[in-house]
Amino acid sequence: MTDTSNSLTFADLPLSEAVIKAVQDVGYESPSPIQAQSIPYLLERRDLLGLAQTGTGKTAAFALPLLSNIDLKQRDPQVLVLTPTRELAIQVAEAFQRYARHMKGFHVLPVYGGQDMRGQLRSLQRGAHVIVGTPGRVMDHLRRESLRLENLKTVVLDEADEMLRMGFVDDIEWIMEQTPEDRQVALFSATMPYQIRKIADTHLKEPATVEIRAKTATVDTISQKVCMVSGFNKIDALTRILEVEPFDAMIIFVRTKTATVELAEKLEARGFAAAALNGDMSQALREKVVERLKKKSLDILIATDVAARGLDVERISHVVNYDIPYDTEAYVHRIGRTGRAGREGTAILFATHRERRMLRAIESATRQRIDTMRLPSMSDVRDIRISQFKEDVLKVMSMGDELEVFREIVAELEQENTLSYEDMAAALCFMAQKERPFPDAKEPEPTRRESREGRERGERRDGERRGGRERSNEGMVRYRVELGRDHGINPGDLVGAIANEGKISGQSIGHIRLFDSCSSVYLPEGIASSVLDVLKDAKIRNRPMALKPWVDDGVPMERRGRREAGRRDSSRGVRREGGRVRPRRGNDGNR
């Protein structure tokens, strides 16, 4: 297996210029192992059997070479990608579009069940270079002859074992028979059950095999945790962890060079001493950044795998996998940046439900169970901030003589205005904290940023701007309602039913999202079970809402659209003051 620590770049691969430029725009630093291995074969038009799961970068592994081989003048479909679900079809089609941004006139068309047939027929008539679809709908079009594959060059079977699980094997066989004899086939599957092996034996000619295998490693001194972030804004999740988790220095891994810079800027804006470390920086600059981390003028580095290779700084107590790595080996490299020199380390992994398989693969590769960590609530953040504030006050009180002049001022204030010491102290606390008020654990601040970022990602959120206000989900619990657009409901119906039946004020009802067959709604934490029972049976348009806690299967929304500091562990190097970073005073206190 190609190691992620090699220094191959996309430009070293014989991809088309337009594709290399798009990859550079997206900010990928280097090919993931599956990409490094698959791309050369697919460019040579060889058949390929890829054993790899989601999260390894397999979509780009086939999309980049196949795009490089596309003839833009030819409007008949040249590539057909079969996927198990419509969500994956959309995601793959979006990836093709992204990587083809410099290919003028390029068209990719996703086709899947449930989508308006007439619209699909029109789009097919207009022509598309790449079709990405679910087997059932692709079969429909082939039968209607609205999809013709005479000029097809390549078929990709994506997540073949999932297609098998969903009962699509016969459909795949049938579709394969409709494709030209000389087409190239790429089959990707996380596992290789008998039926998939059979498809491979029948339809692939002398395939090259690429396998992204799990390796084992010992990471005994590192405690591993996973934070399921489906439905959360990752930056908000990270900020809460930074507030609550005592750490000395931290390295945060992201997938792209662009993301290192963006995340570093966001964390700096939130008052953390953070900097980016990526392959675009000169060796000298990288060394300087690492030196600053060692000398404690920085606490957080945001890095890509390549840039952090071999990084050895004893004070790194935490590694955060902000973006899940491509493979287990990269994971082991990443978390090995902590737990240095026999110290204990903590590794926190952000994962979505879609990435569960990679999570299981990591557990088996590291031979350790990765415990799920609860994302700190706003009330945890508030408690920590208040206790740190108290510590700060006590520290200042131990200063002695320096306070003398202030004691005199307080005595004058008290005499001139007959004030109580309690009131004066409260007023001074207010002054000290007013730039950075304690979060209100009960009534979360609506964050405009969260909604904006969601929209930038193209997420569709019905009804989130109720009453002209955007809301955050802090201190809220997500529930599922078994009624959706198909039942003709709108967000107002949900608010009305929940407010009336559950006696919950409309103001405290959070984000609502409508999907086709169900909806989700955020309600405040700690709702009495008797109220939840009432809401379970409550009806809208004569149908029960069947409200229950949301079990996130990651499907409906995440795929649809594609998809503060001063806290003070005195061991950290900075302290937040009105959104700025100022150097910590004294106390090195390594934990």
* CA 543/CA 546 separation, integer angstroms: 9
Contact in structure between 490 and 497 (CB atoms under 8 Å): no
Nearest to ligand AMP of 32, 224 (CB atom): 32
Nearest approach in angstroms of CB 35 to ligand AMP is 6
Please identify which residue in 15, 22, 28, 470 interacts with ligand AMP, judged by CB under 6 A: 28
Nearest approach in angstroms of CB 236 to ligand AMP is 20
Nearest approach in angstroms of CB 459 to ligand AMP is 15
Q: Is 54 in the site for ligand AMP (CB under 6 A)?
A: yes
* CA 491/CA 495 separation, integer angstroms: 6
Nearest approach in angstroms of CB 350 to ligand AMP is 13
Mark residue 552 as left, alpha or beta (left: phi above 0; alpha: psi -120 to 50; beta: remaining). beta
* CA 124/CA 112 separation, integer angstroms: 13
Q: Is 60 in the site for ligand AMP (CB under 6 A)?
A: yes
* CA 187/CA 160 separation, integer angstroms: 7
Listed ranges 26-34, 139-147, 431-439, 564-572: which one lies at the site for ligand AMP (CB under 6 A): 26-34
Nearest to ligand AMP of 28, 331 (CB atom): 28
Q: Which of residues 204-263 bind ligand AMP (CB under 6 A)?
A: 255-256
Structure tokens at 135: 């087997």
Q: Is 55 in the site for ligand AMP (CB under 6 A)?
A: yes
Q: Is 376 in the site for ligand AMP (CB under 6 A)?
A: no
Contact in structure between 13 and 23 (CB atoms under 8 Å): no
Nearest to ligand AMP of 55, 339 (CB atom): 55
Computed on alpha carbons and rounded to an integer, the radius of gyration of the chain in Å comes to: 28
Q: What SS3 class is residue 558? A: coil
Nearest to ligand AMP of 28, 112 (CB atom): 28
Contact in structure between 537 and 544 (CB atoms under 8 Å): yes
Nearest approach in angstroms of CB 219 to ligand AMP is 23
Q: Is 328 in the site for ligand AMP (CB under 6 A)?
A: no
Please identify which residue in 13, 15, 31, 454 interacts with ligand AMP, judged by CB under 6 A: 31
Total residues at interface with ligand AMP (CB under 6 A) = 13
Please identify which residue in 4, 32, 69, 508 interacts with ligand AMP, judged by CB under 6 A: 32
Q: Is 83 in the site for ligand AMP (CB under 6 A)?
A: no
Q: How far apart are the first and last CA of the chain?
A: 38
Task: Put the strands of the sheet holding 345-351 in their side by side order.
Answer: 274-277, 300-303, 249-253, 316-321, 345-351, 222-228, 371-372
Q: What angle do CA 519, 523, 528 make, to 5 degrees?
A: 120
Nearest approach in angstroms of CB 55 to ligand AMP is 5
Q: Could you give the angle at which helices 491-502 and 529-537 cross, rounded to 10 degrees?
A: 130
Please identify which residue in 4, 20, 39, 58 interacts with ligand AMP, judged by CB under 6 A: 58
Residues of the shown chain interacting with ligand AMP in the complex, contacts defined by CB under 6 A: 28, 31-32, 35, 54-60, 255-256
